[in-house]
Structure 1
Amino acid sequence: MHKLTAHDAETQSLDLVADNIAKLTALFPEILTEGADGGKRVDFEALRELLGTAVEDKEERYNFTWHGKAQARRLAQTPSTGTLRPYPAESKHWDSTQNLFIEGDNLEVLKLLQKSYHQRVKMIYIDPPYNTGKDFIYPDNYRDNIANYLELTGQTGEDGRKLAANPETSGRYHTHWLNMMYPRLKLARNLLRDDGVIFISIDDTEVANLRKLCDEIFGEENFVAQLIWEKRTNRENRKIVSNRHDYIACFCKNINTTTRVLNQLPMTEKALSNYKNPDNDVRGLWKSDPATAQAGHGTKSQFYTLLAPNGKEHTLESGRCWLYTKDVMQKAIDEGRIWFGKDGNGVPRIKTYLNEKDRKLTPESMLFADDVGTNEIAKNMLKDLFSGFAVFETPKPIDLVSMLTNMGCGDGIVLDFFAGSAVTAHASMMLNAEDGGNRKFIMVQLPEPTDKPDYPTIADIGKERIRRAGEKIRADKGSIINLDVGFKVFKLDSTNIKPWDVGFDDLETSLPLFADSLKDDRSNDDVLYEILLKYGLDLSLPITTHTLAGKTVYQLGMGALVVCLDKAITLNTVEGIAKLKDELQPEDSLMRVVFRDSGFADDVVKVNAVQILKQAGIEDVRSV
């Protein structure tokens, strides 16, 4: 039976360095060599020879760098040994929901999600700190970020350190922001599906740096658009120039994906108003479009003099050609598909019928306040949702995030790891109610303190917003079958497994403390969800509970994983698990079984348990 320890690779988040080496050596196996310590190493000279002239080693080259970039890159690649602990009491519809709300430092949370949500997220929207000088910039600790997070949030030490701003007077004003954003975006990219997209809100302070950062992480060929959002409609007379817009940078995972990078948007009332039927055409509402195109795109058959039904001749303007050939145009005229104006003397135009196909709108780079709202509108809407209590100063409008979500995710997982007031969760639920979609959200928010006693942290505001918004959507839309307005709450913490740090000088006194490898203040549910994370299973997977010979046995994924964390386990429970495999018939007949290492009645039971499970075809038996 394999023992999982606090230092075991499987008790950590995905090791990105090892993963990168595996991908590289799959392409070039000859670059793998053995280091002085006997470990596997990459021979860069061999790799250089294989790449030939494609290697750039000159100092003067086009690149984007700053102080601490290499350290930020290493930070992204360092596995986390933390875990996410479940909090059903703070959740809503725990047993049925597929939505997640995670409290914690988003860097560590993104690391912990690498196995379970690798290439599974359809869309990411984030509204990170703009670096205005007042925003909190996450001060990552390169030695132990879990300890850093616990100290920051007052979970260790006397008071915890205060969350720090990044003033403009700092000598590394932009550097601090870049060092915060780089590892988070690097990890976020791993979670995106091949057809996934990311939207990032930003203002003038860091928009240039953000674009360069994303060009490097996502590839400049995967740049989609830099949207402009009209965030206010009033003029600021205190400023040199009244700034009324922010930006939203959009990148995709793979611009060459077979699916559309961004979805087209539903028709608006304004767009629909362009369709009329002044001639009572039996085909219904229509609008007119030009009947000509640029001459460079036409063939010889598209250059002719067009004769209207009333005998009037229409000639082409210089540099233009007719959209159709002469025969096709005449057929369209005969069928009444060409409009010559009310008196028949107008310039020929093509009729485009509303009902001939599912009409949609191509997204535009300008997002006007009339269509998607402003900061002020968003603030007032949130105030109304909280019964007149102003809980958040600068929320993004629900209509703005709904439009982005409509563009980026018809169905699938939507991730926001700077969740704030959880507007992204609100937008996902609202869109699901409107179009019957099945979007699932993952919100991640640091429990940053507020000055509001009812909601001590920003995470508390986000959770309460989801609760209230879900109920309001149900009330507004009526009873909607299968509308998921719940969420499971998880909180970042150190691993549930005790670290093995016994020294030889205190071996006799310390060994009894390690009779059980799990921490005393942790529950079976805490351990269960850490096992899910480390095995790369979805945190929203349904869990079936069995009682076998008086012990609780958890079954996940149609029997792909079975966990028993009780103590004093006898062979009766083990035999019950073996029978469970026969009943469930898991895919590929594979079943993993995990026990508490100290959970067996005695060592004889432990040894026999492995043999009984092997006879049942269960080879992967572990303990924690």
Structure 2
Amino acid sequence: MTNEKLDLASPDLVNENFEKLAQLFPNCVTESTDGKAIDFDLLKQELSHAVVEGTKERYRLEWPGKREAIVTANLPTTKTLRPVREDSVDFDNTENLYIEGDNLEVLKLLQESYLGKIKMIYIDPPYNTGKDFVYKDNFTQDSEEYKEESGLKDEYNQRLQANPDTSGRYHSDWLSMMYPRLKLARNLLTDDGVIFISIDDNEVHNLRKICDEIFGEICFVSNAIWRSKDNSNNDAKGFSTDHNHTLVYSKNQNWQPALIKDESKQKHFKNPDNDPRGPYFDGNPLNSPNYRENLIYNIKSENGTIIEPPKNGWRWSKKVMQEKISTGEIRFTADQKNIRRRTYLQDMKGLPPSSLMIDLDKTGHNRQAKYELLKLMPEDVFDTPKPIKLIKYLMNLGNIGEGDIVLDFFSGSATSAHAVIDANSEDNNKRKFIQIQLPENTDEKTDAYKKGYKNITDIGKERIRRASKNIKEETSADIDYGFRVYRLDDSNMQDVYYKPQEYSQENLELFSDNIKPDRTADDLVAQVMLDWGLPLSLKIEQALISGKKVFKVSENSLFACFDNGIDEAFAKEIAKEAPLRIVFKDSGFKDDTAKTNVKQLLKQLSPETEMKVI
């Protein structure tokens, strides 16, 4: 019976506001003596570009630099992504992306175009072993101080910092690197999206705590243990560490992994009495895991024998139990002294995946991953790739299918891209990948450097090319084998475009064009797509309209023309195509009158078209 009593109270707006804030800022939900609460100091930090000081004690993970890490994630960027056609494969038609640059800046740039569009994220970040590097994200210093402190700066203007385990900020620097990147990554996940993070024992405890903050503790799915070695280390001091962790977090607390079909379990299904429904298994639990009084009742068998309940009672209520007996799911034993639950093989959709990923045939191991890469690239260019089987297994758990995007923002040797192409070749699917990798220089002493791979992105791109070629030759699958390369760079726009107040009228005359002289129309199209929130994978075509080059993005989703001499005649021709959006250079109009007239003509002739200038 439903409760028909009137509440006779106004809505609890405090609770409603709490739930709204918790949804927007799950990392600001904390614990107090009265239960769950909003950490207002942290909320202030989320809404501020400056560091907000606070001294209130609370239950949460703290480290020196945490507030700066939050600010770093929230600060806007004026950088852009520039297309690199010469490194791409089938640039005009592919929907796969390979992006070179600091993943923090790149993730910021993808916030609008890929907000809520990524079905799965897999990352294999630096494990902070004391021998690797971390990204140095110190926004409070000017560029020269930044360069001097970091100690490393490559030709792409990226900063890396050695992080030895003797450092006083050993864990803090690693946490400050991971926090803003994961925070931005969460925004990109679809509502049914999931993130898998490979990590070892060194930082798994800290990583889980920051993931609990960012994704919400309720969205923790599993800490799956992956057997990463096929042989133990006989020379190990103490235990041989033969595993890695895979932390699994979902965007939505109701997310469920795909069920696993385990053929080894089928041997338990028999059909000794020729049941018309086929093989079955008798013996699944009938008892309740917890004591409940309403589950304590006797069952009378067909010959009148009384069957008493287990200690905690039956698994179902008396009514449900009778229904299951009537359908044949619950059956009496031959002596009528007990009951059995019958499960049919044909009804088995699969089993929940185990948190122990120890079946090497399904998830591979590190030595196999090394052999896979050596077979593809005998130059021996990368020491620690992940196996293709592992990524494909995780894709299966994440229900990654038609048109879904897999993002890897610590791409390394691009195993995840290889896995996506391989999976597509098996079922002719259209999964897509986005790889992000810092162009970290390879050591001059390594074989990789000597073979011409000057940085890690050279290795990743070449792996995808070779993997695609091999898979196409072996399978002849009609799938997307290409990828568009983009490179992180400073904005295409002159500094005056962002800070005109810092220039005098005399200086402004030097910038008759807002656009930097070394930038191409391709560069501008990419920046406009990001600014307008359009995916970088959309098809881009070129056409001549009234003698001017026009870029058409996804048919009429966006038109862009950066030629000079834009006038009323051109506007009339463009209006016939009724684009949803159109963008021009501010300096591209014939004159100020033409600029005004073009805008008015588009309003009249194509009222759905939104016009902008850069």
Query: How would you bin the TM-score normalised by the shorter chain?
Result: 0.7 to 0.9
1:129 CA drift (Å): 0.6
- Aligned partner of 1:86 among 83, 86, 99: 83
Asked if 1 retains the 8 angstrom alpha-carbon contact of 2:101 and 2:158, the reply is no
Q: Which amino acid aligns with 2:421?
A: M
1:209 CA drift (Å): 0.9
1:458 CA drift (Å): 1.4
Alignment partner, residue 286 of structure 2: 292
Structure 2 counterparts to residues 285-324 of structure 1, below 5 A: 285-290=279-284, 292-294=286-288, 296=291, 303-304=298-299, 306=301, 318-319=311-312, 321=314
Alignment partner, residue 267 of structure 1: 261
Asked if 1 retains the 8 angstrom alpha-carbon contact of 2:133 and 2:161, the reply is yes
- Aligned partner of 1:429 among 421, 427, 446: 421
Alignment partner, residue 498 of structure 1: 494
Identity %: 44
Q: Separation in 1 of the partners of 2:488 and 2:376?
A: 28
Alignment partner, residue 518 of structure 1: 515
- Aligned partner of 1:240 among 230, 238, 241: 238
Please report the TM-score for the alignment, with normalisation by the length of structure 2.
Answer: 0.80
Are residues 1:419 and 2:411 paired? yes
Alignment partner, residue 366 of structure 2: 375
Are residues 1:385 and 2:376 paired? yes
Alignment partner, residue 13 of structure 2: none
Structure 1 residues 484-493 or 169-178, which shifts more?
Answer: 484-493
Asked if 2 retains the 8 angstrom alpha-carbon contact of 1:410 and 1:437, the reply is no
Aligned length: 550
Structure 1 residues 180-189 or 239-248, which shifts more?
Answer: 239-248
Alignment partner, residue 351 of structure 1: 342
Asked if 1 retains the 8 angstrom alpha-carbon contact of 2:269 and 2:279, the reply is yes
Q: Which amino acid aligns with 2:426?
A: E
From the superposition, tell whether residues 161 and 434 of structure 1 become closer, same or farther in structure 2 (CA, over 3 Å): closer
1:234 CA drift (Å): 2.4
Q: Which amino acid aligns with 1:615?
A: Q
Deviations 1:464-523 (A, max 9, x none): 2222223333344x3434x22321111100011111178999865x55541222111111
Q: Separation in 2 of the partners of 1:163 and 1:405?
A: 31
Aligned to 2:576, the other structure's residue is in SS state: helix
Alignment partner, residue 355 of structure 2: 365
Alignment partner, residue 71 of structure 1: 68
Alignment partner, residue 17 of structure 1: none
- Aligned partner of 1:485 among 481, 484, 488: 481
Q: Which runs of 5+ in 2 are unaligned?
A: 1-19, 25-39, 45-53
Alignment partner, residue 469 of structure 1: 467
- Aligned partner of 2:597 among 608, 615, 623: 608
Asked if 2 retains the 8 angstrom alpha-carbon contact of 1:290 and 1:348, the reply is no
Q: Separation in 2 of the partners of 1:475 and 1:287?
A: 44
1:247 CA drift (Å): 1.0
Are residues 1:398 and 2:388 paired? yes
Q: Separation in 2 of the partners of 1:317 and 1:250?
A: 36
Q: Separation in 2 of the partners of 1:210 and 1:248?
A: 11
From the superposition, tell whether residues 93 and 409 of structure 1 become closer, same or farther in structure 2 (CA, over 3 Å): farther
From the superposition, tell whether residues 173 and 571 of structure 1 become closer, same or farther in structure 2 (CA, over 3 Å): same
From the superposition, tell whether residues 213 and 151 of structure 1 become closer, same or farther in structure 2 (CA, over 3 Å): same
Asked if 2 retains the 8 angstrom alpha-carbon contact of 1:275 and 1:286, the reply is yes
Q: Separation in 2 of the partners of 1:145 and 1:108?
A: 17
- Bigger relative CO (Cα 8 Å, ≥ 6 apart): 1
1:58 CA drift (Å): 6.9
From the superposition, tell whether residues 542 and 504 of structure 1 become closer, same or farther in structure 2 (CA, over 3 Å): closer
Deviations 1:71-116 (A, max 9, x none): 1111111101000011122112222221111110000000100111
From the superposition, tell whether residues 233 and 312 of structure 1 become closer, same or farther in structure 2 (CA, over 3 Å): farther
Aligned to 1:199, the other structure's residue is in SS state: strand
1:419 CA drift (Å): 0.9
- Aligned partner of 1:594 among 557, 575, 583: 583
1:220 CA drift (Å): 1.3
- Aligned partner of 1:173 among 164, 170, 178: 170
Q: Separation in 2 of the partners of 1:329 and 1:141?
A: 64
From the superposition, tell whether residues 307 and 380 of structure 1 become closer, same or farther in structure 2 (CA, over 3 Å): farther
Aligned to 2:133, the other structure's residue is in SS state: coil
From the superposition, tell whether residues 161 and 108 of structure 1 become closer, same or farther in structure 2 (CA, over 3 Å): closer
Q: Separation in 2 of the partners of 1:505 and 1:300?
A: 80
Q: Which amino acid aligns with 2:415?
A: V
Deviations 1:155-177 (A, max 9, x none): 36xxx788432001111101110
1:402 CA drift (Å): 1.5
1:360 CA drift (Å): 1.9
Alignment partner, residue 225 of structure 2: 228
Aligned to 2:466, the other structure's residue is in SS state: helix
Q: Separation in 1 of the partners of 2:143 and 2:251?
A: 29
Q: Which amino acid aligns with 1:268?
A: D
Alignment partner, residue 212 of structure 1: 209
Aligned to 2:258, the other structure's residue is in SS state: coil
- Aligned partner of 2:453 among 448, 455, 462: 455
1:570 CA drift (Å): 3.8
Q: Which runs of 5+ in 1 are unaligned?
A: 1-22, 28-43, 49-56
Q: Which amino acid aligns with 1:491?
A: R
Q: Separation in 2 of the partners of 1:289 and 1:94?
A: 57
1:537 CA drift (Å): 0.8
Asked if 2 retains the 8 angstrom alpha-carbon contact of 1:304 and 1:326, the reply is no
- RMSD over aligned CA atoms reads 3.6
